[in-house]
Amino acid sequence: MHFVTGGAFNGKRKWVINHYQIGSVTLNYTWISAYEQENEQQFEGTDQFKNTTIIEGMELFIRNYSNNFEMTVMLDEWLKWEEKSADRKLVIIGTDVSKGIVPLQQENRNWRDDVGRFYQLLASKADKVDVIWYGIPTSLKGDL
């Protein structure tokens, strides 16, 4: 698994498209985005996954689930899917929401904490972790 994070509108999507040559070399892919409502059902399970699967907007998916346990179960399912074939690659894109002003509402503070905890789990299980700031990648784990 490759976990890509960074600030909002800092070029994560563009970097993933370029890095994995989505649409040019990599043609057998699935792109699931939390920013598009119709993709929410695709998020559950792995039936629609193709050899390269990108899940974008992890912070919003986390907000829609009642607890990190459900997300952890799904992550385990995704990792098992990826491990079944060397041709499979799972890329997870999540916006870093930990910087800036702490939200006033308890619900938003809890969500921010949940995102941080889940991103720690993603980073620990990922083969690669990259942070994208202003379109520039910094590798935190694995080869770039």
CATH 3.40.50.300 fits 2-141, yes or no: yes
Q: What was the pLDDT predicted at 42?
A: 62
Q: HEC states along the chain?
A: CEEEEECCCCCHHHHHHHHCCECCCECCEEEEECCCHHHHHHHCCCCCCCCEEEEECHHHHHHHCCCHHHHHHHHHHHHHHHHCCCCCEEEEEEECCCCCCCCCCHHHHHHHHHHHHHHHHHHHHCCEEEEEECCEEEEEECCC
50 close to 30: Cβ distance less than 8 angstroms: yes
110 vs 25: which has the higher pLDDT = 110
Residues 30-61 pLDDT 10s: 999 988 866 555 667 788 899 999 999 999 98
Whole-model pTM: value is 0.92
Residues 57-107 pLDDT 10s: 999 988 887 667 788 888 999 999 999 999 999 999 999 998 888 889 999
**At 144, is the pLDDT very low, low, confident or very high (cuts 50, 70, 90)?**
low
Q: What was the pLDDT predicted at 24?
A: 85
Q: What was the pLDDT predicted at 14?
A: 97
Q: What was the pLDDT predicted at 69?
A: 77
Q: What was the pLDDT predicted at 113?
A: 92
Q: Where in the chain are the domains?
A: 2-141
